[in-house]
Chains A and B, each alone.
Chain A
Amino acid sequence: MQQFSVHRIGPEVKIAGVDISFTNASLFMLISASIICLFLFLGTKEKKMIPNKIQLIAELFYNFVAKMISDTAGSKAKPYFPFIFSLFMFVLFCNMVGMLPYSFTVTSHIIVTLILAIFIFIAVTIIGFIKHGFGYLKLFVPSGVPNLLLPLITIIEIISYLSRPVSLSVRLFANMMAGHTMLKVFGGFVISLGLLGGWLPLGFSVALTGLEILVAFLQAYVFAILTCIYLNDALNLHH
């Protein structure tokens, strides 16, 4: 569990009694953001008609996110493309940077994912109310439900709506934490079983690393696509 611990780097900074010191978590957020910026900078440095490799990858990411948004939320979601693109890139690169040994996984902290999720939740709710006024509340009252069941369904819908930030944040946080914990457990087995029996957990560890890289990508994708789906609910009220 030591890999998840946050410690201060440099001096202690307090604003109005709140500790906002620069920590290793902040450092790895900064590293991830810097890698994204560097990658995108290199990807857009030369505007070529026939792209080079890094430009191709940058454009691939762009098209991937653009297609994801247009598939799930339609053309109305186009103004939110930069946000979802940043979100996807940030979560993906934080996950991927976390895969490096001795690094820190920013997204394995509930507070980080919760803040992202709550921001998305509040933003989506505000967008919904701006677009549809109080008609947005129709989201909780699905049509075609028998009158007897309607109060129950409405309550369930409200609960499910309110639990969105929790499920969104806990999904990412738990996936990242569980993966890293599992890697650590197998790493511990390698040490404790020694030279004779350590090879099997080592193999598992290698396989799990592959799986974790997949999970890192998948969770970033899931995070972004769920954001798109929530946005779709707010933009195109179908109920």
Chain B
Amino acid sequence: MKRFFVIFLFTILSQSRLFAAEAGMPQLDPKYWASQAFWLVLIFAILYFAIANIFIPKIKNSLDDRNDKIKNDLDEAKNLQEISEEKLNEYNLTIEKAKKDVQKILFESKNKLKLDIQEKKDIFEKEIDKEVENTQKEINKLKQNSLNEIQNISKELASEIIIEISGDKLNESSIKAAIAETSKKELENYS
């Protein structure tokens, strides 16, 4: 029994030793733990200082520069847009004002023209009226003159005819009255 136990123990020990040597996890072998720890700390420390002091500031700088540029460009674009909007508003206002002015000028000149035409028309009409009146007067005058002449002629004629017929001189005024009466009667037919 004791012998069997010793053999059993030996087998297990040898087996486990075999296992550890051939298929065990080298990770659990503490032989090089100190070495790995030492080199890890050393290399990681150097890497950390290199990254923290050289590379990160550089990358940060570059990124910040780009962000600043983008921000500046955007700000500038915004400003330019505002300016252009202002200009556009100004332009629109100017156009509107010009349109109003044009309308006003148009309206005024129209009115002025109308007034002018009216005035000229009035003057012409007055002149025409005057002319017509003058002509009328002249006609009337001529008429009167011709009537008078006719009356005079007829009076002379009548008095001569009377002298011829009767050899007597008639009262001039009575002849005149008779002629006036006759002429008046005859004239009524013409006028």
A33 vs B51: C-alpha distance when bound (angstroms):
10
**A145 adjacent to chain B (CB < 8 Å):** no
A21-B35, A82-B56 known; A109+B47 contact, CB < 8 A: no
Hey, which chain A residues are within 8 Å of B55, CB to CB? Answer: 37, 40-41, 43-44, 58
Hey, which chain A residues are within 8 Å of B24, CB to CB? Answer: 1
CB distance from A52 to the nearest CB of B (A): 12
Q: Majority SS of interface residues in chain B?
A: helix
A25-B36, A62-B59 known; A19+B31 contact, CB < 8 A: yes
**B39 adjacent to chain A (CB < 8 Å):** yes
Instruction: Compute the total of residue contacts between A and B using a CB distance below 8 Å.
Output: 126
Hey, which chain A residues are within 8 Å of B32, CB to CB? Answer: 6, 8, 19, 21, 23, 25
**What's the interface size class on A, roughly?**
35 or more
CB distance from A51 to the nearest CB of B (A): 8
A19 near B56: Cβ-Cβ < 8 Å: no
Q: How many chain B residues touch A (Cβ–Cβ < 8 Å)?
A: 38
CB distance from A70 to the nearest CB of B (A): 14
CB distance from B29 to the nearest CB of A (A): 8
**B23, B35, B50: most-surrounded residue (chain A CB, <10 A):** B35
B36 near A86: Cβ-Cβ < 8 Å: no
Segment from A110-118, A151-159, A219-227 that makes contact with B: A110-118
CB distance from A192 to the nearest CB of B (A): 16
A123 vs B66: C-alpha distance when bound (angstroms):
34
Hey, which chain B residues are within 8 Å of A86, CB to CB? Answer: 44, 47-48, 51-52
**A150 adjacent to chain B (CB < 8 Å):** no
| B positions within 8 Å CB-CB of A | 23-29, 31-41, 43-44, 46-48, 50-52, 54-56, 58-63, 65-66, 69
Please name 20 further chain A to chain B contacts, defined as beta carbons within 8 Å, in addition to the given A21-B32, A43-B59, sorted by A numbering: A1-B24, A4-B26, A6-B29, A6-B35, A20-B38, A25-B36, A25-B39, A26-B39, A29-B40, A29-B43, A33-B44, A33-B46, A40-B54, A51-B62, A62-B56, A62-B59, A86-B47, A86-B51, A86-B52, A106-B40
